[in-house]
Structure 1
Amino acid sequence: MTNSIAARIADFLENYPPFSLLEKSELLQISESITVFYFEAGKMIFKKDEQVHDQFYIVQKGAVDLQKVEESKEPETIDKCDEGDIFGLRPLFAKENYQINAITDEESVIYGIPLNLFKPYAINNPEVGDFLMESFASNTRNPYSEKHRGRLFTDEEDIQLNKDPLFELQPIPIVKKMVTVSRNTSIQKAATLMSERRVGSVIVVQDKKPVGIVTDVDFRELVATGILPITSNISEVMNSPVICYSKNLTIAQAQLTMMKHKINHICITKDGTPNTKVKGIVSEHDIIVSQGNNPAVLMKAINRANSTKKLKKIRTKIMLLLDGYIKSNIPVSHISTIIFELNDATIKRTIFRCIDKMEEPLPCSFSWMSLGSQGRKEQLLLTDQDNALVFENVEENKLQEVRAYFLKLARKVTKRLNIIGYQFCPAEMMARNEKYCLSLSEWKNQFSDWVTTSGNDEILLCQIFFDYDISYGESRLTNELSDHVYDILKGNRNFLNRLAAQALRNPSPLGFFRQFLVEHDGEKKDLFDIKKRGIMPLTDAARLLILEHRVKNISNTAERFEKLAQLEPNNKEIYQACAYSSKALIKFRTKQGLKNKDNGRFINLEDLGKEDKIKLKRCFKSIKEIQELIKIRFETTYYS
């Protein structure tokens, strides 16, 4: 008679490695000896220096925190185990006491698996052994031992753990000898090339630019199963679009990107977009020995958060991470990318939970757009939320009903983001405002009106919507909207000239005697507005000039200037100076915000030392130079 409990356990285990690598009969045999534990939140499963148990564990339901423990310090969570994650295995093989705590983060059901029963399968099954070796080599379930004691299953050299706390911000090693093929290459030929060169992926290119990627997983799922014949073109099996980064990709960025997009390969291109030549590739295997998992732990916690209260708590930890990066003088480009991904995950999780709480299902596809500093990947501190929503076109008689649904959803989302710490926009430029909750056709008409009318208000609105990032939903909608905007801008020199006039509305922030221009009245009297007088002039200039070149997919101010330096070699020096100044001013604002526990916008100059003032004045020199370039190029005398 079949043991129904063991059968249910086996059904669960077969979904997760390394158990998924075993035969069903083997799983059933293991499952019959498994112990089922129930733990309330906050219960210790094992603690540091405790003698190892005769079993290891897998999370069936709930979550378990793995904590690093140091004398006279609070335990620090270094990883979070979700459903299907195993833990407590390495000490059993290494024959050492536990080096970390394992404590439940919430009500959990845990399976205890006897080591003596499992170990023969690990030794005799090469795939299981390889999986465990990779697991041990990674930073996940890190026991913080100085080294492994003895061998695991092979004669491989002992794996040394990198203990540099900022290891995750180091550039990741890039494989430059990748395999590239054209769209019409056969699956069989591509697979042969991969086999000959012993690589796990092939990049599909057109004019040397990446248009798709195929991994050995795709071959296994779509070709080996018989869904597609090996004579088919590689384009039929490729994943597209390709996620791209520039060569300065860090370990943390790679980890977060792979988690976010559920991929295991990232393509490296010249400027970090699919618009330039392929330079290399990074795989999940390349980062499997990376340490420094704090951003990944936070990302995992965000994706598991089941309340706004938890997301707010995680946001506090993100600010601590930011503070540590700033104090360690990490490049702001790396910091911005990491914080952006964590912000983006927070927004996504909030929207997902709000959709789940709606009484009715989604009436149609939609996209949630983050605008302003978050859209430019420059929002480090908690500032106002700027967002908008676009939904697909529906029949005229259903338009208001559909809009009412999304307005209700947007009110839920913006309310929760406000609780987390993203203040409401004072100008109500949020998706909960019916002006910014429109169908695709309505958005197209709105942009056409803004561009053709070209009054000061319309120009200001256009500027904000040129800097966006899709945070949730159907990218097809935002891509179509972006294409429309660039179409109506084509050849519209009048609009660009008016945009140039707006870009000059905030002149250099230094007076005649090189004194800082401060606020003359109001609540902020005698304070210096670094956003209005420092950051915005550079942001506006970069946006204008990148639009003139009709370059898509780059919204970050520093990255725009770096791209402009490539497009206009004769102005390379000034553009590079502006890129540096943009990053320096954002970092300076962040430091002030962290110091004063605010958004860092208004600065008391009396608190600054001479060195800080000199650095700021050097940045402001770039503003003056780029504005002079704009005046000459766009003849703004006639439009100001």
Structure 2
Amino acid sequence: MKNTIAERISDFIKNFPPFDQLSKGDLYAITKEVTITYLEKDKNVYVEGEVPHDRFYMIHKGAIALKKVINSKQETIDRLDEGDIFGLRPLFAKENYATDAVTEEESILYSIPLATFKPLISQNKDIVDFLIESFASNTENPFSKELHGTLIDHRLDLVANDKELFELQPVRYTKKVITAKGETKIKDIGQLMKRHRIGSIIIENDHVPVGIVTDADLRNKVITGEHTIEDSASQIMSTPVLCYPKSVSISQAQLTMMKHHVSHLCVTEDGTPNSKIIGVISQQDITVMRGSNPTVLMKAIKRSKSTKELKHIRKRIMVLLEGFMEQNIPLTQTSKIIFELNDATVKRIIERCIQKMDRQPPVSFAWMSFGSQGRKEQLLHTDQDNGIVFESVKENELEAVRDYFMLLAKKINKRLNAIGFDFCPADIMAKNPKWCLGLDEWKQQFNQWTSNTGNDEILLSSIFFDFDITYGDANLTNHLSEHIFEITKNNHLFLSKLAASALRSASPLGFFRQFLVEQDGAYKDFFDIKKRAIMPISDAGRLFALSNHIKNINNTAERFERMAELFPEDKEFYLSCSYTSKALLKFRTKQGLLHNDDGRFIELSALTKEEKMKLKRCFKTIAKVQELIKLKYNVNNFM
């Protein structure tokens, strides 16, 4: 005989995650064991520090506040309403409750036994994914060691066992690295290569890579007579060294080698040239997979002979991105691969445009990408943000040199627009003479932004302080980066104003758990995920990077991961910020692919309960990081 109460419970909970992923039979098996609890307003479900119950809870009617004592004062850290579940995480992590759960109004709760729930979901990948994201975004304790060793590893095993995703697995790099000093003679470098039967030597200083000498360097620079074997390694080494962390994927390593025409990569502790060498990757270390989509696309980009071809390739890149999203490939891997393909596309356009000029560039230059592309976060078709920095020249030569690069920039911007990168509405493009400057001019521009800190200067700082070189002389962008860190070091006034600017968009949730939406215009009642969620977290990442002198890292998630290393006492908080950055970018990307736009404006009524829950978790982190900014920086005078 059927249990009619269980059937009614089943009819309710099947509409909410993670129960919407269960079969009818499994759902009924759970609901038969559910008990119903009625609580009046201001009653505790459980209290902070209490040993966890043997069950977790779902709100059928009413609302629950999660409260925690912070600085001797009890504060509400989250509010939950109908369909939300709570009290589950401590059961998996085997931890006491970290908050009080208090009814904010009369409430009816469904109490669900873990003993019944857990066996039914252990083999359900979608529910495992939901729980991982739920726990990882719980800013009270987002990266529990217990959970990291169980649920998260289980998800990674699912990826690792899929042969189709082999190319996304980390490269097996050579850990025994043979190094030498810059003053080592070339003949000794050659003898080292012969003795160890290797094709490269990393040149280091205090265990940090400063260059690399390969067998190709010996062929091209020594055997040709350009240098003698008595010269030092520093005279023929390639610098700077292309560095990656040990987690670099096979596909990304392949793309980087093809893009930069190199055969070796260096592996360092944090993936930058500023940390200790831990390994080296050569082409021989990589098994090239037949039919590797990213590799095929990269080859097509490098072979392309027309803008029309590149436009077609860009469409294929979007298909690849959609496939990655559908397969739930980790966003870190996805964004890196798409960045390399986008970057190579822009580089190919620049190469072809230079060929169409009547002469080669008069001085060295670099093409810089700003904003989301500079942060390696541009996945969808968005507008251009770019500029040119060229070698400083004498005043009487300046305008002639600028005219050359202005003409080149117009050709490049036009072709980028043709393949899908829209013109920037604010005209932040290299074809604008304001953003086609010599190195000294760029330094003066940054000086002005950091000393004359009005609202316009702070706004421009949020765009231009995140830049990445796409093509040209890296020494120019390195000099510019060093200059930026020099002028912002101990510049408390600028950092305080930058901090105040990072708070210009309040927490995306309004009164009692409601999303803040646009009040008028073409997108009235839509949620602006860029303005209200992505910008606040990326602004915070930029602020922390500048104030803590974090070099060579522009990506928002990676900036927070670096903060977690610098401040281990707050590691879990910064990792939750990193997770939030990636989760928001993934959400925008999925929405953009779904609606064939840039994913910025979201119709809330079209979102599922699960999607709204995920966004709300991210918003909690944004609110917390904004509170931290208020505490760490003197912003009261600039709000």
Residue 436 of structure 2 aligns with an amino acid whose one-letter code is C
C-alpha separation in 1, matches of 2:577 and 2:463? 20
C-alpha separation in 1, matches of 2:173 and 2:179? 15
Per the alignment, in what secondary structure is the counterpart of residue 176 of structure 1? coil
Question: Mapping of 1:207-222 within 5 angstroms?
Answer: 207-222=206-221
- Which position in structure 1 is the counterpart of 2:77? none
Question: Mapping of 1:63-462 within 5 angstroms?
Answer: 164-223=163-222, 228-462=227-461
Inter-CA distance 399–226: structure 2 relative to 1 (3 Å threshold): closer
Gaps of 5+ in 1: 1-161
Task: Report the CA distance between 1:182 and its aligned residue.
Answer: 2.4
- Comparing 190-199 with 402-411, greater Cα deviation is found at 190-199
- Which position in structure 2 is the counterpart of 1:521? 520
Gaps of 5+ in 2: 1-160
Task: Report the CA distance between 1:163 and its aligned residue.
Answer: 9.4
Task: Report the CA distance between 1:380 and its aligned residue.
Answer: 0.4
Task: Report the CA distance between 1:539 and its aligned residue.
Answer: 0.4
Per the alignment, in what secondary structure is the counterpart of residue 585 of structure 2? helix
- Comparing 479-488 with 214-223, greater Cα deviation is found at 214-223
C-alpha separation in 2, matches of 1:364 and 1:178? 37
Whether contact under 8 Å (1:450, 1:458) holds in the other structure is yes
Whether contact under 8 Å (1:380, 1:590) holds in the other structure is yes
Task: Report the CA distance between 1:313 and its aligned residue.
Answer: 0.6
Task: Report the CA distance between 1:188 and its aligned residue.
Answer: 4.1
C-alpha separation in 2, matches of 1:229 and 1:401? 40
Whether contact under 8 Å (2:489, 2:547) holds in the other structure is no
Whether contact under 8 Å (1:163, 1:291) holds in the other structure is no
- Which position in structure 1 is the counterpart of 2:466? 467
1:22-66 Cα offsets, whole Å, 9 max, x none, are xxxxxxxxxxxxxxxxxxxxxxxxxxxxxxxxxxxxxxxxxxxxx
C-alpha separation in 1, matches of 2:220 and 2:353? 34
C-alpha separation in 1, matches of 2:396 and 2:333? 48
- Which position in structure 1 is the counterpart of 2:133? none
1:140-167 Cα offsets, whole Å, 9 max, x none, are xxxxxxxxxxxxxxxxxxxxxx993322
Inter-CA distance 356–525: structure 2 relative to 1 (3 Å threshold): same
C-alpha separation in 2, matches of 1:211 and 1:478? 17
C-alpha separation in 2, matches of 1:194 and 1:361? 37
- Which position in structure 1 is the counterpart of 2:584? 585
Task: Report the CA distance between 1:286 and its aligned residue.
Answer: 0.9
C-alpha separation in 2, matches of 1:503 and 1:320? 34
1:320-372 Cα offsets, whole Å, 9 max, x none, are 01111111111111111111111111111112222222234433322211111
C-alpha separation in 2, matches of 1:391 and 1:185? 33
Question: Mapping of 1:446-595 within 5 angstroms?
Answer: 446-595=445-594
Whether contact under 8 Å (1:168, 1:292) holds in the other structure is no
C-alpha separation in 1, matches of 2:291 and 2:540? 36
- Which position in structure 1 is the counterpart of 2:104? none
1:186-210 Cα offsets, whole Å, 9 max, x none, are 4444444444433332211111111
Per the alignment, in what secondary structure is the counterpart of residue 368 of structure 1? strand
- Which position in structure 2 is the counterpart of 1:3? none
Task: Report the CA distance between 1:403 and its aligned residue.
Answer: 2.2
Inter-CA distance 614–569: structure 2 relative to 1 (3 Å threshold): same
1:284-314 Cα offsets, whole Å, 9 max, x none, are 0011444452111111111221211111111
C-alpha separation in 1, matches of 2:404 and 2:199? 45
C-alpha separation in 2, matches of 1:484 and 1:500? 20
Residue 392 of structure 1 aligns with an amino acid whose one-letter code is E
Aligned residues: 479
- Which position in structure 2 is the counterpart of 1:129? none
Task: Report the CA distance between 1:181 and its aligned residue.
Answer: 2.3
Inter-CA distance 428–233: structure 2 relative to 1 (3 Å threshold): same
C-alpha separation in 1, matches of 2:229 and 2:433? 51
Task: Report the CA distance between 1:609 and its aligned residue.
Answer: 0.9
Task: Report the CA distance between 1:470 and its aligned residue.
Answer: 1.1
C-alpha separation in 1, matches of 2:474 and 2:237? 18
- Which position in structure 2 is the counterpart of 1:40? none
C-alpha separation in 2, matches of 1:635 and 1:359? 53
Identity of aligned residues (%): 58
C-alpha separation in 2, matches of 1:460 and 1:316? 32
1:520-550 Cα offsets, whole Å, 9 max, x none, are 1110011111111111111000000010111
Aligned: 1:599 with 2:598: yes
C-alpha separation in 1, matches of 2:602 and 2:288? 42
Inter-CA distance 411–237: structure 2 relative to 1 (3 Å threshold): closer
C-alpha separation in 2, matches of 1:223 and 1:391? 31
Whether contact under 8 Å (1:164, 1:292) holds in the other structure is no
Per the alignment, in what secondary structure is the counterpart of residue 389 of structure 2? strand
C-alpha separation in 1, matches of 2:299 and 2:631? 50
Task: Report the CA distance between 1:512 and its aligned residue.
Answer: 2.3
1:460-505 Cα offsets, whole Å, 9 max, x none, are 1122111111112222222222222222222211110110000111
C-alpha separation in 1, matches of 2:499 and 2:430? 28
- Comparing 404-413 with 271-280, greater Cα deviation is found at 404-413
**Cα RMSD after superposing both structures:** 1.8
Whether contact under 8 Å (1:369, 1:469) holds in the other structure is yes
TM-score (ref. length: structure 2): 0.72
Per the alignment, in what secondary structure is the counterpart of residue 390 of structure 1? strand
Per the alignment, in what secondary structure is the counterpart of residue 499 of structure 2? helix
- Comparing 469-478 with 574-583, greater Cα deviation is found at 469-478
C-alpha separation in 2, matches of 1:253 and 1:274? 17
